[in-house]
Amino acid sequence: MNISHFSQKITVFQGKQTPEEGTLVGYGAIIEGLELRMTFPEQLSLISDKRRSYSTENWKVFSSRAAFDDTLYKHLIFALKYEGINLLFFKKLFDNISVKDIMLLLQLEPTGQYSRKIWFLYEWLLEKQLDIKDLTIKNFVPLIDDKMQYTIKGTRASRYRIINNLPGNIDYCPLIFKTEKLETHINANISGKKNEFLNNIHKDVLQRAYSFLLLKDSKASFTIEGENPGNNRAKRWGKAIGQAGKKPLSIAELIRLQQIVIENNRFINMGLRKKGGFVGEHDRATGEPIPDHISAKKENLEQLLKGLIATNEALQDPTYDAVLAAATIAFGFVFIHPFVDGNGRLHRYIIHHILAKKEFTQQGVIFPVSSSILDHIDTYKTVLESYSHPLLDHIEWKETVDHNVEVTNNTIDLYRYFDATKQAEFLYDCVEDTLERVIPEEVTYLQNYDALKRYIDNHFEMPDKMVAILVRFLEQNNGVLSNRAKKEFSALNEEEINNIEANYKKIFFRS
């Protein structure tokens, strides 16, 4: 294998305009040079001809002083130092080079920290041991730079003098980059601030608010899937959401939850898929699949889910952020898409489960993140597609007789090693929106409702059911009773109606 000549001068790469002419380096250069079958990192690295460094959304531009020899080893050192750990890249690299080549690489700087990281990753990812003696000297170095990516505390791997701080295991280990947005969210301690707000709310109002919000969240989760469930079905799923965090996550538990989601299973094979799967459309003329997303192969489902569940256990470490953990597990689940139906709702259930399990809200209350997701549905779809669409170029499939897809190449690594940064940022935005807007709006509504009800009770002694109907009429017409409503409440005279409308506006429209 040619282990040199990876750099190339570019102004456009993979359809992306570079901010200036420069030399492609690091992961991007190796993936291109070795034609590795994988998606390129979201941000690529470029060495400028000028002495300046800066970043854009898609590029990290380095000063000309960062230039280095154009060899595979030097590109790997650069990538590990400046681009973080990319597990999918290393798996694809090791699958495409010989043991002889990897040994030659590791002999260049046998005890250097980057050589040790490459050595560790080779044996960890391939589950093969190279003919190299254990190190007995050198300080331990963390595998992942925690200034660049989120990590767990980790364990010491004495053979390499490496601290394995990967937030996962060989069967499932997405990684999340530290971004300004995520750090701002985490440092804002939105959960703690909101608990101060919630602690000042009467428990009765808070309990009623969460009852309404759970139902609202359940309905929102169905609506995201294009369904309009009846109240009974929504309440049934809301009850399941309300119990999130109480039972350990397992394959059996996920199957139990699927049975709650799917009311009529006469036409659906329940449990883990026995066939391929995809999300998308069918050609109206031929029935040929037109995938937007291709699910993991049926043969890989159990291995992937066991890895996901084990990673979930590892992320219960109290030092690991709850929202990052929820994004890592929940989005991975929906990308794997292990069931014929119910994946989306279970994906959002997993968000509830992990946030509850990690006690993100001190009251132990599950909050309606699906409502916020529904309010930001276009961004949600974009975040899902940012993972799914690039993968389509690397998945080979053929149409089956029932117009499904059958994947013909090895794709398991695409579902266990991915960059979950965008998904984590989106989820944090929705969690903040839920805590800052959705919950307070519901609490405020109930407080206003109670205030109006007290006025009506004091003046009219109206039955509770009738009060609810009256308020609904007022809501529907911007605080004014329509002619139809006036007929319904014909017992009220004009002055009484005017007073009710005035009090409604005073209570509900106050700034």
CATH number of the domain to which 237 belongs: 1.10.3290
Within-domain flag for 123: yes
Q: Could you report the per-residue pLDDT of 386-421, keeping only the tens digit for each? A: 999 999 999 999 999 999 999 999 999 999 999 999
Q: Could you report the per-residue pLDDT of 180-230, keeping only the tens digit for each? A: 999 999 998 776 666 666 666 766 776 677 666 666 666 676 777 776 666
Q: What is the DSSP letter of 111?
A: T
Mean pLDDT for 346-371 is 80
Same domain, 77 and 222: no
Same domain, 83 and 113: no
Split into its structural domains, the chain has a count of: 4
Same domain, 390 and 269: yes
Q: Is the dihedral of CA 227, 231, 236, 237 positive or negative?
A: positive
Same domain, 71 and 124: no
Q: Which residues pair with 145 in a beta bridge?
A: none
Residues 353 and 434: their CA atoms lie apart, in Å, by 16
Domain that holds residue 288: 180-419
- Helix, strand, coil content of the chain in percent (nearest 5): 55, 10, 35
Same domain, 275 and 339: yes
Q: Which residues pair with 44 in a beta bridge?
A: 59
pLDDT at 364 > cutoff 60 = no
- pLDDT bin (cut points 50, 70, 90) of residue 436 is confident
Tell whether pTM > 0.85. Answer: yes
- pLDDT bin (cut points 50, 70, 90) of residue 4 is low
Q: Could you report the per-residue pLDDT of 101-159, keeping only the tens digit for each? A: 999 999 999 999 999 999 999 999 999 999 999 998 889 999 999 999 999 999 999 99
Within-domain flag for 201: yes
Same domain, 9 and 139: no
pLDDT at 15 > cutoff 90 = no
Same domain, 192 and 300: yes
Within-domain flag for 43: yes
Beta strand pairing status for 8-13 and 289-294?
unpaired
Q: Could you report the per-residue pLDDT of 244-271, keeping only the tens digit for each? A: 778 899 999 999 888 887 766 666 777 8
Within-domain flag for 173: no
Within-domain flag for 428: no
Query: Measuring CA to CA, how many Å separate 478 from each of 291, 471, 500, 504, 508?
Result: 44, 11, 13, 10, 10
